Amino acid sequence: AIKAYDPENIFAKILRGDIPCNKVFEDDHVLAFHDIAPQAPTHILVIPKGSYTSYDDFAENASDAEIVAYTRAIGKISAAAGVVEDGYRLIANTRDHGRQDVPHLHVHIIGGTKLGLMLP
């Protein structure tokens, strides 16, 4: 069965202000911050403020306003990070097979260098 949202996950704590983050962007629906263990020169995590475990949960349960805000924010943050012209990678690791560590939806924006191949 798919697990319920865990309000003690680390990104929930960041959203509550219980632990700090290096913030890149924030609006009513979205928070973005630098990954604590960057895998490339640009490594930003973009999360919705709502309590969604995964992209599938978000797509099914978020409001249209949240979905628009999140989708546009990922594009704007990528552009502001300066990775759009040379290219970059968006990743949303999901659950066990996707090797998701933090069970709050997050899209990784990774770029700033030519990335390696990574599938599977």
The residues of the shown chain that bind ligand 5GP, judged by CB under 6 A, are 10, 21, 33, 35-37, 45, 93, 99-102
Query: Given CA atoms 52, 22, 45, 85 in this order, what sign does their dihedral have?
Result: positive
- As measured in angstroms, the least distance from the Cβ of 24 to ligand 5GP is 10
Q: Which is nearer to ligand 5GP, 32 or 69 (CB)?
A: 32
Phi, psi of 60 (to 5 degrees): -80, -35
* Per-residue CA distances from 62 to 36, 51, 99 (Å): 27, 9, 23
Nearest distance from C-beta of residue 46 to ligand 5GP, angstroms: 12
What's the chain's Rg over C-alpha atoms? 14
Catalytic residue among 29, 104, 106, 108: 106
Q: Which residue lies nearer to ligand 5GP by CB, 67 or 93?
A: 93
What minimum distance in Å lies between the beta carbon of 17 and ligand 5GP? Answer: 13
Is 106 assigned a catalytic role? Answer: yes
Distance of alpha carbon 42 from alpha carbon 49, whole angstroms: 22
Peptide bond into 7 cis (omega under 30): no
Active-site amino acid positions? 106
